[in-house]
Amino acid sequence: VAATRTNSPLEVMAEPLEGSYFVSTYPPFSTWSGSARECYRAALANESTADVPLGLYAHIPFCDLRCRYCYYLSQANPAADSVESYLDCLEVEMALLGASPALRHRELSFIYFGGGTPSMLLPDQIERLMAFVRRSFTWAEGAEVTFECAPRTVGVDRLAVLRQCGVTRLSLGVQQLDDEVLSRNGRVHTVSDVEKAVECIQSVGFDVVNLDLIVGLVGETEDTFFRSLGRVIEMDPQSVTLYQLEIPFNTPLARAVRSRRDSLAIPSWETKRRRLDAAFRRLEGAGYFVRSAYAAVRNPSQHGFVYQDSQYRGADLVGAGASAFSYLSGVHHQNLASVRDYSTCLGRGDLPLYRAHALSADEQMVRQFVLQLKLGGCRTGAFRRSFDVDPLERFAQPLSHFEGLGWVEADADAVRVTREGLLRVDRMIPAFYNAEHQTVRYS
Ligand SMILES: C[S@@+](CC[C@H](N)C(=O)[O-])C[C@H]1O[C@@H](n2cnc3c(N)ncnc32)[C@H](O)[C@@H]1O
Ligand code: SF4
């Protein structure tokens, strides 16, 4: 393990309007390769001795309509038989994964149904999905089971099935409560759809209800954003997540920005940070606690987000579904990212392997350090015990740079990300990467 690296914090801190912002893992996806996918196959074939939690992610790639800013794999307005065929494939994949030597004796600690829009599934499809997940895996009583929903698809029938099937955490994509802003960004729902959905969700009752908002949508103003936030606080969810809008390449919004349509109506990064900062303060004033760079919750000991916290602390995650990501025994993997290729592979009884990266011990250490910054930092002693690396020495250069800016505080006990740092944590993170990863594209 090298003692120091030539990180260059200033170089990696540019703020273009277009491109990825959110860092979900390390090393960047663009360094993963097809040839390394056999490493993931090998990780599944080896009985695991891991002492970290294991989670399951299932991807449901369907939506009513595509939002202009969205880069997730998802098909708009799918035909009924495409959804059924997709579930057939998912069932085969889960059975293969659940029977693998690495997973067959392990219990899941958390499950996440994401998309796309999992709540597009009809009640009987949700029952079928949950039944085959249960046939393939076991999970601990009380484990967190999250289901992502969009407002128009939420009704009492579906919600009752979700609750009965063991969903504990319901996450609703609200984004903003202003009809014009919603429509300019390609959302199909209206403010009144959200109001009805939240009422329904609260009448059925889940342990944690999370509402997602986006800061910086096209056409957003101080007034639309803070009115939305005020209304969300009145709805009294246990958790509020706030993402700063990113405009990934290859989205309709990125094309509009490039041709200079819309660019003037998109808040700058500085404006997004200022609004997010004020939003966190409003939420704190209303009794919420900021628990990460993205979320505020009513009660941190009851309303955690096990899926995110566990991954950021090094848990294993097995992904199922087209484009789904996994991290198992130090190997990153992504499934085939086209539904057709994914289905063809499973039709033959093969796992839909696409690209992977086997992390060196050093990369695993960097990964865990940077992901924990999103949760506010780490204890230096615990980090040293896990990796035999002193983070204060290893990351001395970027830490001292960011301490100078007031974005982190580091001492013998802990590395702490300040509020100023949390507001731009995904900008800061690449400065901690190994030199060879600092200049590559993220995805
Ligand atoms: C898969 S979506 C959630 C469920 C559902 N599809 C929806 O949008 O209502 C996950 C969340 O990612 C966030 N998101 C999606 N694209 C984004 C982008 N370009 N920038 C910031 N946040 C984004 C949204 O807040 C969204 O709720
Ligand atoms: S943001 Fe959600 S609803 Fe919109 S296209 Fe993406 S996954 Fe679908």
Nearest to 163 by CA among 207, 197, 122: 207
Q: Average pLDDT, whole number, for the chain?
A: 94
The pLDDT tens digits for 395-420 are 999 999 999 999 999 999 999 999 99
Instruction: Kindly report the protein residue whose alpha carbon is nearest to atom 8 of ligand 1.
Output: 173
Measure the CA–CA gap between 211 and 171, rounded to whole angstroms.
6
Q: Does pTM top 0.85 for this prediction?
A: yes
Contact 169, 297 (CB under 8 A): no
Q: What pLDDT sits at residue 11?
A: 55
Nearest to 208 by CA among 294, 325, 300, 115: 300
Q: What is the DSSP letter of 395?
A: T
Instruction: Kindly report the protein residue whose alpha carbon is nearest to atom 21 of ligand 1.
Output: 245
Cα 263 to ligand 1 centroid, rounded to whole Å: 20
Position 44 pLDDT exceeds 60: yes
Ligand nearest to the CA of 188: 2
Measure the CA–CA gap between 176 and 399, rounded to whole angstroms.
35
- Classify burial at 289, counting beta carbons within 10 Å of its beta carbon; exposed 0-12, middle 13-18, buried 19 or more: middle
Cα 316 to ligand 1 centroid, rounded to whole Å: 23
Long-range Cβ contact pairs of 250-256 (< 8 A, separation 24 or more)? 250/71, 251/68, 251/69, 251/70, 251/71, 252/66, 252/68, 252/186, 253/68, 253/69, 253/185, 253/218, 254/18, 256/68
Instruction: Give the range among 7-11, 115-119, 353-357 with minimum mean pLDDT.
Output: 7-11
**Residue holding tokens 């001292």?**
400
Contact 329, 50 (CB under 8 A): yes
Cα 225 to ligand 1 centroid, rounded to whole Å: 16
Position 7 pLDDT exceeds 90: no
The pLDDT tens digits for 258-295 are 887 766 688 999 999 999 999 999 999 999 999 999 99
Ligand nearest to the CA of 215: 1
Q: pLDDT band at residue 12, thresholds of 50, 70 and 90?
A: low
Position 1 pLDDT exceeds 50: no
The pLDDT tens digits for 146-170 are 999 999 999 999 999 999 999 999 9
Beta bridge partners of 316: 54
**Residue holding tokens 């409560």?**
177
Measure the CA–CA gap between 175 and 185, rounded to whole angstroms.
10
Q: pLDDT band at residue 10, thresholds of 50, 70 and 90?
A: low
Position 108 pLDDT exceeds 80: yes
Q: What is the largest CA-CA distance in the chain?
A: 59
Around ligand 1, the residues with Cβ closer than 6 Å are 63, 69-70, 72, 114-117, 148, 150, 173, 175, 212, 214, 243, 245-246
Give me the mean pLDDT over the 220-240 stretch.
Answer: 98
C-beta of 116 in contact with ligand 2 (< 6 A): yes
